[in-house]
Structure 1
Amino acid sequence: MNEKKASPPRHDPKVVKALRNFAISISVFNILGYTLFGFEQPWLYPFIALATAYTVEFGLEIVGARVEGRVPRFLGGGARGVLEFLYPATITALALNMLIYVNDRVWVMMFGVVVAVGGKWVLRAPVRGRMRHFMNPSNLGIAVILLLFPWAAIAPPYEFTEHLSGLADWIVPAVILVAGTILNAKLTGRVWLIAGWLGVFVLQAIVRGLVLDTAILGALATMTGVAFVLFTNYMITDPGTSPSKPASQVAFGGGIALLYGFFAGAGITYGLFFATALGCLIRGGFLWSMHFAERTAAGAARESAVSADGSAAPASDPADGRKVVPA
């Protein structure tokens, strides 16, 4: 009887800590959103989103573990192991429900959650010898909803501070900014990504103002909203779907800002989400191209090594030039 392989750790300890802090932050923000800030989605929706995400996550993990002949990742670590396993699903479910508005058609939100969680098992690419998902889960779910259901919309940005006024309007984004910056600086290491994203975002706003007669100050004012701060610190910095090397981070963040500028200049709404989805898709294609290039190079190296070995390389018959295969 074949024994199942032990389950590899889902994430390294540093990433687990980052995911834990992400999950806690977004949970607290949702509680405050429904009680103080002004979230307009029905209060039952986040619980439905969580139930949907957990069901899909558990189900696909069981199937994946069976196919790969290993122990499911939520087993072996007790309650803590199950909790750590559910961090990504918690973040995905709460973020998607918080950022999308589907009125009373809750099944559309559930569909988005299924796409977001399921996409991690379908859209994968080899990274350092392991298959990793490359599409930002919650962003993928939102983008698919916006494409398939044109009547759906992004949750209005004012809902983050609808019931606040005066100094509180400044405190909320400031707290999110400080907390997100610390989290990304100490745990995810995505400061270079944020720098590339913000730098090119400013540049594309200026270029659109000069070329397309867009109000430059209006384009830059987007950066002062709570939604933009959340997107910057908690969406594009997802450690599972963004590069880790500084130069690659700058290119990734800057590329998304450049794509956003294109969508905004073309008059396409919700450009932040489409730009992020397209940026992740391009990165996934690049990872696959690198994988195939490495395999091709490795195959060529093996063939060269075999050809250099006289005992293994085909020889030519000096009489008629025909190749003679060694016995």
Structure 2
Amino acid sequence: MTASTTASTNGQVRPPGGKHHDPKVVKALRNFAISMSVFNILGYTVFGFEQPWLWPFIALATGYSTEIVLEAVGARVEGRAPRYRGGGFRGLVEFLYPAHITSLAMNMLIYVNDQVWVMVFGVVVAVGTKWVLRAPVRGRMRHYMNPSNFGITVILLVFPWASIAPPYHFTEHVGGPVDWIIPAVILAAGTMLNAKLTGRTWLIMGWVSFYVVQAVFRGIVLDTSIPAALIMMTGVAFVLYTNYMVTDPGTTPSKPASQFAFGAGVAVIYGLLTGMSIAYGLFFATAAVCLIRGVFLWSLHFVDRAREQREAEARARQAVDGTAESIDLGKKVVPA
């Protein structure tokens, strides 16, 4: 992420009013939401999802209500119209795409036994973090923490007995070639979506390439089985994470070099955490890199503010000096 990603207007950050997303991002979110919905339907009917069938609906109701309430409060505080109004039913649906994706992802990826309120807590945290952990980007406040990843991370930290959903439940009730077809289809659809709409191909390249590097490095330095470290890349969970979580367009950089660094950073931190025998490294690594990016964005903002203040002070001094020089010239006596 470069300095051009943070801008301000007269030193003030503009509030997030107006249209929620540009058409290209809306299309990407719509496709993400449809893909997530279809995958959940197949998960409960074919693949072998182990959470109760009612929980996705509870997660969606929680995510929708949290998103709408926080938007209403934010709009009132900022003196603007809520972003779910003005576009009719379609506008409301488009506004709720992020909450839809986050809610289904939370329920699908976390396993909290029969404690549904823990899942509800995670959804509230995931959706709510967009209003708490924000940084100025191009003069507007934008959330920088991946919502669903952060919600899962908080659950894992607050409730040590909780865990992520076992990877086998994505293909528990299928076998044979279907075990390979499922990740292949997800990979093809996700790659096309990210290449054409979100533009996060460079991020995926950074993540995947450095994942291989850290796996080989751990194998050489820590005597880890390199094939075992690399075989994870063939699973449905890894493919889902690569195409639908780490590439979140709202919390990742846009420029190719910054994208590559973001993805590579996640892989490097994952390797460090895994090397220290810390479980759930994918989620902790993503949260760490998002946090680093947020701190970086705030740093750029403060640097810009300081530069603007120095320039304003310099202009003020020049104006004062110019006025003093004019007064001095007026006091001079011209000899006859």
**CA RMSD in angstroms, aligned pairs only:** 1.6
- SS of 2:19 mapped into structure 1: coil
- SS of 1:194 mapped into structure 2: helix
Alpha-carbon distance between aligned partners in 2 of 1:43 and 1:274, rounded to the nearest angstrom: 28
Alpha-carbon distance between aligned partners in 2 of 1:209 and 1:109, rounded to the nearest angstrom: 36
Alpha-carbon distance between aligned partners in 2 of 1:126 and 1:248, rounded to the nearest angstrom: 17
Q: Pick from 251, 254, 259 the counterpart of residue 244 of structure 1.
A: 254
Alpha-carbon distance between aligned partners in 2 of 1:238 and 1:261, rounded to the nearest angstrom: 21
| Percent identical residues | 70
Q: 1:314 to 1:67 in 2, by over 3 A?
A: farther
Query: Match of 1:23?
Result: 33
Output one character per residue of 1:267-320: Cα deviation in whole Å (capped at 9) or x when no partner. 0000000000111000000000010011111111111222222457889xxxxx
Query: Match of 2:295?
Result: 285
Query: Match of 1:101?
Result: 111
Output one character per residue of 1:189-242: Cα deviation in whole Å (capped at 9) or x when no partner. 000000000011000001100100000111011111000000000001000000
Query: Match of 2:4?
Result: none
Q: Pick from 112, 125, 130 the counterpart of residue 140 of structure 2.
A: 130
Query: Match of 1:178?
Result: 188
Alpha-carbon distance between aligned partners in 2 of 1:313 and 1:165, rounded to the nearest angstrom: 84
Q: Does 1:44 align with 2:54?
A: yes
In the alignment, structure 1 segments of 5+ residues that lack a partner are 316-327
Runs (4+) of structure 1 exceeding 3 A deviation are 310-315
Q: TM-score, normalised by structure 2?
A: 0.91
In the alignment, structure 2 segments of 5+ residues that lack a partner are 1-14, 326-336
- Asked if structure 2 preserves the Cα contact closer than 8 Å seen for 1:37 and 1:162, the reply is yes
Query: Match of 2:66?
Result: 56
Alpha-carbon distance between aligned partners in 2 of 1:250 and 1:298, rounded to the nearest angstrom: 31
Output one character per residue of 1:99-155: Cα deviation in whole Å (capped at 9) or x when no partner. 000010000000000000000000000000000000000000000000010100100
- Asked if structure 2 preserves the Cα contact closer than 8 Å seen for 1:54 and 1:89, the reply is yes
Query: Match of 1:193?
Result: 203
- Asked if structure 1 preserves the Cα contact closer than 8 Å seen for 2:16 and 2:141, the reply is no
Q: Report the residue type matching 2:112 in the other structure.
A: V
Map of 1:136-215 to 2, 5 A cutoff? 136-215=146-225
Asked which structure has the greater RCO (Cα within 8 Å, sep 6+), the reply is 2
Query: Match of 2:78?
Result: 68
Q: Report the residue type matching 1:149 in the other structure.
A: F
Alpha-carbon distance between aligned partners in 2 of 1:103 and 1:119, rounded to the nearest angstrom: 24
Alpha-carbon distance between aligned partners in 2 of 1:289 and 1:44, rounded to the nearest angstrom: 44
